[in-house]
Amino acid sequence: MSDTPILLEHEGHVARVVLNRPDKRNAISAKMLARFSEVLVACDRDPDVRAILITGAGRAFCAGLDLQEAAQGKGIGGGSGVAAAVARFDLRDAPPTVLHNLDKPTVCALNGGAAGYGMDLALGCDIRIASDRAKLSAAFTKRGVLPESGGTWLLPRILGWAKAAEVAFTGRTLSADECLELGLVNQVVPADELSGAAMALAQEIAENAPLAVQATKRMMRMAMDETFEANVHHVYLQLLPLFRSEDFQEGVQSFLEKRKPEFKGR
């Protein structure tokens, strides 16, 4: 098992975050929980990072929570720090909540199976690009639990109530093609093309004005629980500082000069 359960790499303005327990199919340990949250928060605060790509090492994305650890009293609910917070239902610093509140856009490179907690993490990303070997397994009800990490909120919003109910209640495992048909992933690519395709999309996002991208994501997230009128009002308030930004001036100037813009994030 790797001593570095979460890897952080940078490629231009894209941060690549890797779940790194390939021998355990990247099952989430208590140690990984705290580190994953720390890395995500650091990326969100880093002005050089404009997009975050999340993937798994090896052949799996994430097999869910480490049940062997949990059975030994060392995993979720058995330790300290984030694990203890989860045991108290204090989820403010838990990865699914942190992931949901990020302003930086997130792309999931779904390289293999994602089960339980791993499925919720994948669904918590803004965009999912799947390998043709990827699978999503909503196995919660087959283990006597429920989607505890965002799935009950995310699935109905992505699929609609009836389809979400079918997936969640049956605990069904969905192939990459089934995920694409349902709209759970944006696209499916051959396994050997996944890394390049996901990075290309993340870099395409990162080329745009970062303040505008982040404001767009923030307003879309708020709109999930707002009336139309309230969201239009909040969007206008977000627009005012953007009009005063250097990036807005660069966007207009580059359009007039018919050249590619060079955004600075200010």
Does the pLDDT value for residue 127 go beyond 60?
A: yes
Q: How confident is the model at residue 3 (pLDDT cuts 50, 70, 90)?
A: confident
**CB half-sphere exposure, 51, CA atoms < 13 A:** 24
- Could you give phi then psi for residue 84, rounded to 5 degrees? -65, -35
Average pLDDT, the chain: 89
Does the pLDDT value for residue 83 go beyond 70?
A: no
Per-residue pLDDT tens over the stretch 38-69: 999 999 999 999 999 999 999 999 998 876 66
Coil/strand/helix, residue 121? helix
What is the rounded radius of gyration, in angstroms, for the C-alpha atoms of the chain?
19
Does the pLDDT value for residue 85 go beyond 50?
A: no
Burial class (CB in 10 A: 0-12, 13-18, 19+), 257: exposed
Return the higher-pLDDT residue of 76 and 246. Answer: 246
Distance between CA atoms of 118 and 221, rounded to whole angstroms?
21
**Predicted pLDDT of residue 196:** 96
Pairing assessment for the beta strands 113-115 and 51-56 based on DSSP bridges:
unpaired
Distance between CA atoms of 65 and 218, rounded to whole angstroms?
29
- CB under 8 A, 24+ apart: contacts of 242-245: 242/211, 242/212, 242/215, 245/209, 245/211
- Could you give phi then psi for residue 56, rounded to 5 degrees? -120, 150
Question: Per the confidence metrics, is the pTM higher than 0.75?
Answer: yes
Return the higher-pLDDT residue of 144 and 117. Answer: 117
In this structure, how many other beta carbons lie within 10 angstroms of the beta carbon of residue 223? Answer: 15
| Least confident window among 58-62, 81-85, 100-104 | 81-85
| Least confident window among 36-40, 83-87, 104-108 | 83-87
**Predicted pLDDT of residue 139:** 84
Q: How confident is the model at residue 254 (pLDDT cuts 50, 70, 90)?
A: very high
Which domains are present in the chain? 6-206 (3.90.226.10), 210-256 (1.10.12)
As a whole number of Å, the end-to-end CA separation of the chain is 42
DSSP character string of 20-42: --GGGTTPBPHHHHHHHHHHHHH
- For the record, the structure tokens of 148 come out as 């505890």
Task: Sort residue 79 into left (φ over 0), alpha (ψ -120 to 50) or beta.
Answer: beta
Per-residue pLDDT tens over the stretch 151-195: 889 999 999 999 999 999 999 999 999 999 999 999 999 999 999
Distance between CA atoms of 15 and 52, rounded to whole angstroms?
5
